[in-house]
Every structure is written in C-alpha cells, then in structure tokens.
Amino acid sequence: MEKLKMAFHYGADAVFLGGKMFNLRAGSHNFNDEELEEAVAYANSLGKKVYVTLNIIPHNNELEYLPEYVIYLEKIGVSGVIVADLGVFQVVKENTNLSISVSTQASNTNWRSVKMWKDLGARRVVLAREISLDNIAEIRAKVPDIELEVFIHGAMCMSVSGRCLLSNYMTGRDANRGDCAQSCRWKYSVVEETRPGEYMPVFEDERGTYIFNSKDLCTIEIIDKILDLGVDSLKIEGRMKGIYYVSNAVKMYREAIDEYYSGDYKYNPKWLEEIKSTSNRSFTKGFYYGQPGPEANNYNDRNSYSQTHQLVAKIEEKLGNNEYLVAIRNRVESGETLEVITPKGDPREIVLPKMTMILKGNKEEESTFANPNSFAKITLEGDFEPMDMIRRRLDK
C-alpha cells in the first residue's frame, strides 16, 4: 500500500498489483481483499487506475476459485486485469466485463498475435520486452485499434522474460510464478572434474564470455522515440523494489513525458543522473534498437547493485509551524546535509536539525541522531508534503 501511494504521489497514472492468488510475484507482499478494496478506493479518489495481475500459467486445480475472484474484482471496481493464459482470458470474459490487458508473459512480438488478442476481446497488449522500436511501429500501424503498453524501466531477464529455467533447476524456485532466485546474477567459477575444490574465475576474452548478468532496462534517453510510436502506456517494473526506487523512477519519467507533451521537448541529462541515484545494475536500452550486444551485460564480478543516494526518511505528516513527523529508514544525525525529494522540481538541500524522538507511550525526547524504524519530529524550512522523501548522498 505504501508503494502504491508513493507511486501516485510522484506522478503515476496507474499501478499494477497482485492479489494473494493468480499473480507472478510470489515473493512480493501482495494485497489481500481488504487492502485491495482500499487501494481501489484510494486510486479512484485521485482519478487514478488499478490493474490486477492474473498472469500465472495455471494448472487445472488452480482454476477452481478464479471465476469467483474475477467477479469480486469487477464488483470492487478495478480498472482491469492483466492475463497471460488463454484459459484465464476465457474465464474473465465469461464471468465479467472487465477490461483485459494481455501480459508481457504472453510474449507478443508481432502484429499478427496482437491482432488475434484484439479479435478475442483484449483491450490492451503489453508487448514483450524482446521487441524493437521498428517492430512496435509496424504493430501500431497494422493494429491501430488496440492499446499498446511497453516496459520502459526495470530488471531485464537474460532469457525470454519469465521463461528461464535456471532458478527452477538450481533452487526449486519457479520463475514462472515470480519466485525467481536470479541465479543468472550469481558469481560463477569453473571447477575441473579431477581437481575438486580448485576454483578458476570466469573471464571475458577474445573468444567470448558468460552471458547471464543483464544490465537493467532504462529508456529515459529515448523516451521521445518511444512516445513517437503512439503507444498508450509506459510500464515501470518495480513491485519488488523499495519506495525510493519506485518514486524516483516515476518522477523522472513523469517529467520527461510532460516535457514531451509540452511541444518543446528537450532531453535533460538530469533525468538519467537522478535515476542512477537509485539502486541499479547499470543500464541498457534492451531490445529497442534490435538484438542487444555484449554491452547489455555485466561481465565482471560487479553483480551487485550500485547507487549514489540513500533514502533516510519519509515525511509522514505536516504538523504546522514548519514541523513535520518523519519515519526514519536509515540512521541519521543532526548536522548532516541532506536533500528533500518532492514530486515537482529539483531536490532541496537541508541541514538536519535536532530531532524530537517519539518513544513508547507517546513520550518525546530530544536527540541528535535517529535509528531506523523510528519516528521523529523535525523542523524544516520550506513547504513539504506527506510522502516527500529525505535522502543523503552516499559519498557524504
């Protein structure tokens, strides 16, 4: 729920989320029915949309409760559902009038398959990640009367998205259920059979390299070219990410999209620098310019994330007289130079003053530091809002 609210606060028009069943994020804290109803009501109050993922590839026993569930989703007013399987598609059609988006899991890479889904009654197709700008242009031209959605930011799979078997084989965790262990990003060495325990590192040389560890997708530098194609929706992958990642990515793409539609588009290098401030594996433009080459992968042992900034607090409530209640996410100390991130405009620099810690029983105590998972009152010069974030540069 927090991530949903943050995404809307920083400029998203819609969110996609999963309930407790039928979706491809087994490791995510998905929405129970009560939370789902709250999410839809909250989105409606803002004029925003909620799409619910029903994108598993089910077995027979998993279909039993699906009709009842989709009827429930229609009743609470979700904006639509995202499906990948023809059987699930049929269940939704037979039991509801819900708008159906076809998931990227269906791997649509050509206009014929998109037209087929349109003829079956789909309102939108989320195109496969493995698709180029030229492919999208042809699909748009030949199937003009269906909505198209494309991924613009997030993790990339070294296989066709959702179809890799490494995780399932090595850990028993099914990528097709959103439970991927990301075995592709582990650090590997070679062991020769007759020399057990002697590990030889894997290097890139003129003969080749390993192929597993893909960089993350980032299209902020070509967002105008994607919008030129006439797509209807731009998707940021982030259900397993933190609030800083989601909020900052949404904010930067929101700025770029608004700049595009202003009629006087000019790329701002600040957008990419801000995106780099959040956790990433460095970036690739994926398949948008055709089959990605060696530059799309990380070839050294740098398979961990990098970032330039760290979230330290989130504003929870405006108390008056420039006083704010904040939730502390990482340890902070008075006197630190920090930045406040708001939905509009550049980060605003602040020097953190002394804090009033909120203790058990609503007792208060002045302090020069605060630890994670605590709440504090602080005085800030400027007009800020709940859900604005406070961050630090990691080199400080």
pLDDT digits (tens, 9 = 90+) for 118-131: 999 999 999 999 99
Residues 133 and 19 in one domain: yes
Whole-number Cα distances in Å, 384 to 229, 295, 309, 379: 37, 41, 20, 11
- HSE on the CB side for 357, CA within 13 Å? 17
What parts of the chain have a pLDDT lower than 70? 23-28, 156-167, 169-170, 174-190, 200-213, 293-305, 396
Rounded to whole angstroms, how far apart are CA atoms 216 and 152?
Answer: 10
Return the pLDDT at 211.
Answer: 45
Return the pLDDT at 134.
Answer: 97
Query: Long-range contacts for 192-198 (Cβ within 8 Å, ≥24 apart)?
Result: none
DSSP states of 186-223:
S--EEE-TTSTT-EEE---BTTB-----BPEEE-GGGH
In the structure encoding, which two tokens stand for residue 106, read together?
A: 């269906």
Query: Long-range contacts for 359-367 (Cβ within 8 Å, ≥24 apart)?
Result: 367/334
Residues 100 and 154 in one domain: yes
Among the listed residues 333, 298, 151, 360, the one whose alpha carbon sits nearest the alpha carbon of residue 236: 151
Asked whether residue 194 is domain-assigned, the answer is: no
Return the pLDDT at 296.
Answer: 63
Among the listed residues 246, 188, 184, the one whose alpha carbon sits nearest the alpha carbon of residue 215: 184
Rounded to whole angstroms, how far apart are CA atoms 354 and 6?
Answer: 27
Tokens 């925003």 belong to: 48
Backbone angles phi, psi at 91, to 5 degrees: -60, -45
Residues with Cβ within 8 Å of 339's Cβ and at least 6 positions away in sequence, in order, are 309, 347, 348, 349, 350, 390, 391, 392, 393
Overall pTM surpassing 0.75 (yes/no) = yes
Residues 288 and 320 in one domain: no
Among the listed residues 92, 133, 99, the one whose alpha carbon sits nearest the alpha carbon of residue 118: 99
Residues 285 and 332 in one domain: no
Asked whether residue 121 is domain-assigned, the answer is: yes
Residues 383 and 278 in one domain: no
Q: Is the dihedral of CA 326, 330, 334, 339 positive or negative?
A: negative
Residues 354 and 314 in one domain: yes
Residues 369 and 282 in one domain: no
Q: What is the 3-state secondary structure (H, E, C) of 292-339?
A: CCHHHECCCCCCCCECCEEEEEEEEEEEECCEEEEEECCCEECCCEEE
State which residues form the domain around 374: 309-393
Of the three residues 254, 274, 296, the one that is the final residue of a domain is 296
Other Cβ atoms closer than 10 A to 281: 19
Asked whether residue 92 is domain-assigned, the answer is: yes
In the structure encoding, which two tokens stand for residue 159, read together?
A: 């296989």
Among the listed residues 160, 163, 119, the one whose alpha carbon sits nearest the alpha carbon of residue 143: 119
Residues 222 and 348 in one domain: no
Largest Cα separation within the chain, whole Å, is: 73
Residues 258 and 357 in one domain: no
User: What CATH number is associated with residue 342?
Assistant: 2.40.30.10
Among the listed residues 116, 53, 117, the one whose alpha carbon sits nearest the alpha carbon of residue 80: 53
Rounded to whole angstroms, how far apart are CA atoms 347 and 312?
Answer: 14
Return the pLDDT at 287.
Answer: 86
Of the three residues 268, 296, 324, the one that is the final residue of a domain is 296
Residues 380 and 238 in one domain: no
Of the three residues 296, 331, 350, the one that is the final residue of a domain is 296
Buried b or exposed e, range 239-269, using 16+ CB within 10 angstroms: bebebbbbbbbbbbbbbbbebbeeeebeeee
Residues 236 and 319 in one domain: no
Asked whether residue 184 is domain-assigned, the answer is: no
Residues 117 and 237 in one domain: yes
Q: How many domains does the chain have?
A: 2
Q: Which amino acid is at 167?
A: S
Return the pLDDT at 301.
Answer: 46
